[in-house]
Amino acid sequence: MKITNYRLVLNLLVLITMFGCNKEEVPYFSGSNSANFWLHHYNYSLFGATTSELPQDTIVLDIALVGRLADYDRHADAEAVPDLAGTPEDERLTTATPDQYEILGGVIKANEQYGKLKVLIKNPEILANQEFLKLKIKMVENEDFGIGLKENNSITLTWSRKYLPPATWSAMRFFFCSVYSTRVYRIFMEVTGLKEFYYYEGQITMQEAYVMGKNFGNRVRELSAIQGSPLLHDDGDNAGLPIVPIY
């Protein structure tokens, strides 16, 4: 009985310790604030534009705060990451030369959790024959932010005159076509007037996505009827096979 009473008193003491703390004793985030990338890779298409038509363009990347909100704008800085000497050509993550890009930096505005970081990219004539250019960048420490988790500290950009899969393709494939090809992407842009599909961020509702998907399917069937045969994927994993719309 004494052992039982002792255990009862001990359990009560544990409960008092757990629930007797006031709010001021709750541990808050005390590490270094950091700005981090959402993605590890980002494709950007210049949609066939020549140097004279589009000498340069700007890639806008999403970044996210890890840490505390602040009542003032905070700036995020990044720098290019060169490949190690001797890296095989097909494994390089930075093929662009310094004159082919400019890292403009980013900002997370006051009292906001998310922000944008911009990179100016050039459209040199080399892209007429070369498939793409690549650039790996990483966040660097400044007066506003420290270095965050290694997994979210860097991103590899790829830009090309070809029609590359957009960053939002992972959501698009559930409403338009499960397989990507340039022809699928062209029809998507034709019927929606969009280059990206921000369904996962709540910018497009389920009903709007369904209507877009239905319009895409109708256009594919219309083009198939005009030519008298199924419309085919022009490249990608299913090149030469019929385009099958989701709706």
Residue with tokens 């039982």: 4
- At 199 the pLDDT is 72
Q: In terms of C-beta density within 10 A (0-12 exposed, 13-18 middle, 19 or more buried), how is residue 173 classed?
A: middle
- At 202 the pLDDT is 66
Domain 34-160 -> CATH class: mainly beta
Write out residues in the chain with pLDDT < 50, as ranges.
1-30
Global pTM reads 0.77
- At 6 the pLDDT is 40
User: What three-state secondary structure class fits 14?
Assistant: helix
Q: Rounded distance, CA 189 to CA 195, Å?
A: 6
Dmax (CA) of the chain: 91
What is the residue-averaged pLDDT of the chain? Answer: 88
- At 203 the pLDDT is 80
End-to-end CA distance of the chain: 72
Q: Residues with Cβ < 8 Å from 197, sequence gap 6 or more?
A: 166, 168, 169, 171, 172, 175, 188, 204, 209, 212
CATH 2.60.40.1740 range(s) for the chain read 34-160
Element (H, E) at 192: helix 182-192
- At 32 the pLDDT is 83
